[in-house]
Structures are given as C-alpha cells and as structure tokens.
Amino acid sequence: MRTRYLAAFVTAAVVALVPLATSLGAGQNPPPAAPAAGQGGRGAVVNDGTPVPRTPDGRADLSGVWNKRLVQNTAAAAQPLPFTAEGLNAFNDVWNHIDPTSKCILPGVPRVNTSPYPFQIVQLPDKVIFLYEYMHNFRVIYTDGRAHNKNWEPTLLGDSVGRWDGDTLVINTVNLTDRTWLDDHGNRHSDALHVIERWRRVSANQLSYEETIDDPKFYTKPWTVGWLMPLAPKDWVIMEYACTDNNKDMTDGHLQNGPLNGSLRDGTAVAPAPPARGAAPAAAPAPRP
C-alpha cells in the first residue's frame, strides 16, 4: 500500500468540509483561496504561474496523472440543496440502503471524480480517455461532435459526449441508473440525472473541475460545485485496484446501511420542505438507532 493511500484517508474529514482543501500529497500546490459566497464551493482559480501545456493544434492539454480530491460531501458548498419532495425522501431514506461502492459497484458519474486515488487523462484529437485507479475503471469521452446514443440503456457511468469550449472540456452525461450515489455522504439522484462536467487546465500543475447536477425529479433547480486538483508526482502511475480482493466487509456481513463514514451523517432526518399545495406532507423516517 503506497503512502498516498494513507494520506487520502487521513485528509478525508478535512476535504469533506472544505472542497478546496490542501493537496493530499505533502509539498504540492498551496491551498487555493477559500470559496466566496455564492460560488457554490468553486472558489477562485489560483494560477501558480506555470504555463499550460498545449497539444500540437494549440489546445490546452489535460493529459497527465492527477491527484483527485477526496470530497466525501460534494453538496456541502451548495447547501441547502434545493430538494423536491421526492429528492428529500430519498436523502432521508439513505439509512435503509448500503453504499453501492461497498458492494464493489462502480461509483458512477459524478462520484467517480471524487472517489479516492489518482486518475489519468489521455487526450487525443477526437476523444479524451479517463483512467481511474479506484475500481479500476475508465471512460472514453468522444469529442468528434457525435450525439447521445438514443438506444442507450441506463448504466452506472451513463452515456457521455464531450465538446471543447475554448480550453475547457465540457462533458454531458445522461442515461444514468439510479443505483449510484452522488458522493460518500449519501446524496442521492434519480434516473433523470444529467451531469455536466467542466475540466480546464489552469496551469501546468493544476486542473479545475466543476460538476453541475441537473435532476428535476430530486432537485428543483440545477446546482454546481467544483474545486482544483493537483498534478500527481512524476513517479506516480495508475495501479491495480481489486475491489473484491480480501473485501471482508462484504463477505463477513459487516456492511451497514447508510454512508460508510458514520461521522458524515448522524442518522438524523432532514426536515421536509413545505409540501406542494394540495399534497400531503412527506413523513421523514426515524433516525438510525
């Protein structure tokens, strides 16, 4: 087990509260400025003065191994979340469900971008490939102008297409199954989820990431959060990850309902939003014992 693994878990609680927290690796980029009010946790982009690498055609090159932020509650900076009645019920009902990733189910989009361990971006003229160490999975984002596949069945990673907006890679993902969570905190989504990711290299050593959650079944309006990710040390490579290998939590019956980190949610239900006119109030479940 590499030192980076321990560092990721040690910093988990801090990063959960501050999306723009310090780097997981010692001696890397200084912490960016704290997010300003109304920025949804995105904060100010800090340019360290190093030039952005570019491809032969002049486009910003996102390629490299990047050290993800272990953001356990992505919605913290967007609080209070604009729940619909259905979304609020799902949020409060998390204590009746086991975190899908604890059963080795892929984290899905956008959670795959906030789970632990680094990832690699390989940028090609007509596509951008994301190689994730966590769960040893990948995404191929085509940027050749193709549309979404109308025959695509809902999947864990959905149907993603990309486009370039200047130096920013914009990814639209739809057709996502509702089996995944948005984050470790147990924020939920429906099968109507549409995720918009914006990736931009702001310097040689920093990658800006934003995600917009658009889910009309669970949220009354879209909401956006984001943070910076540092370039990993030069000797880092994507390593093997075998989820089921020695997974005693799954084989020995240790799994419990709710978020894996109990400190993130104490089991207390969130107060229901005022019901729509003529609708019966939603009953919140009892707190987890």
Residue 16 belongs to domain with CATH number: 2.40.128.20
With a cut of 70, say whether residue 18 has pLDDT above it: no
**127 lies in some domain:** yes
Query: 215 near 173, Cβ under 8 Å?
Result: no
**153 lies in some domain:** yes
Side-chain half-sphere exposure of 279, counting CA atoms within 13 A: 12
With a cut of 90, say whether residue 261 has pLDDT above it: no
The helix, strand and coil proportions of the chain, stated in percent and rounded to the nearest 5, come to 15, 25, 60
**260 lies in some domain:** no
**97 lies in some domain:** yes
**96 lies in some domain:** yes
- What does the pLDDT read at residue 49? 83
- Give how many domains the chain has, as a whole number: 1
Q: Domain range holding 237?
A: 3-251
With a cut of 80, say whether residue 138 has pLDDT above it: yes
Q: Give pLDDT tens digits for 234-259.
A: 999 999 998 876 565 555 555 666 67
pLDDT band (50, 70, 90) for residue 202: very high
187/258: higher pLDDT: 187
Give mean pLDDT, residues 218-245.
94
Paired with 139 in beta bridges are: 130
Report the alpha-carbon distance of residue 270 to residue 148 in Å, rounded.
36
- What does the pLDDT read at residue 201? 98
With a cut of 80, say whether residue 14 has pLDDT above it: no
203/265: higher pLDDT: 203
- What does the pLDDT read at residue 130? 99
Q: What φ, ψ does residue 96 adopt, rounded to 5°?
A: -100, 10
- What does the pLDDT read at residue 45? 55
With a cut of 60, say whether residue 263 has pLDDT above it: no
With a cut of 90, say whether residue 54 has pLDDT above it: yes
Residue 89 tokens read as: 């019920």
Q: What are the residues whose beta carbons fall under 8 Å from the beta carbon of 144, sequence distance 6 or more?
A: 126, 127
With a cut of 70, say whether residue 276 has pLDDT above it: no
Range with the poorest average pLDDT among 93-102, 160-169, 204-213: 93-102
Query: 268 near 286, Cβ under 8 Å?
Result: no
CA separation, residue 147 to residues 109, 124, 140, 143 (Å): 18, 18, 14, 10
With a cut of 50, say whether residue 283 has pLDDT above it: no
**122 lies in some domain:** yes
With a cut of 80, say whether residue 102 has pLDDT above it: yes
Q: Give pLDDT tens digits for 114-128.
A: 988 999 999 999 999
How many DSSP H helices and E strands does the chain contain?
4, 9
Strand 137-142: give its sheet, edge to edge: 64-66, 119-124, 127-132, 137-142, 159-165, 168-174, 194-201, 206-214, 223-230
- What does the pLDDT read at residue 76? 84
- One-letter amino acid of 163: R
Computed over every residue of the chain, the mean pLDDT equals 79
13/132: higher pLDDT: 132
**193 lies in some domain:** yes
14/154: higher pLDDT: 154
Report the alpha-carbon distance of residue 194 to residue 211 in Å, rounded.
10
**271 lies in some domain:** no
- What does the pLDDT read at residue 25? 32
- One-letter amino acid of 70: L
pLDDT band (50, 70, 90) for residue 148: very high
- What does the pLDDT read at residue 154? 96
With a cut of 70, say whether residue 29 has pLDDT above it: no
- What does the pLDDT read at residue 267? 52
28-32, 34-38, 46-50, 96-100: range with highest mean pLDDT: 96-100
- What does the pLDDT read at residue 216? 99
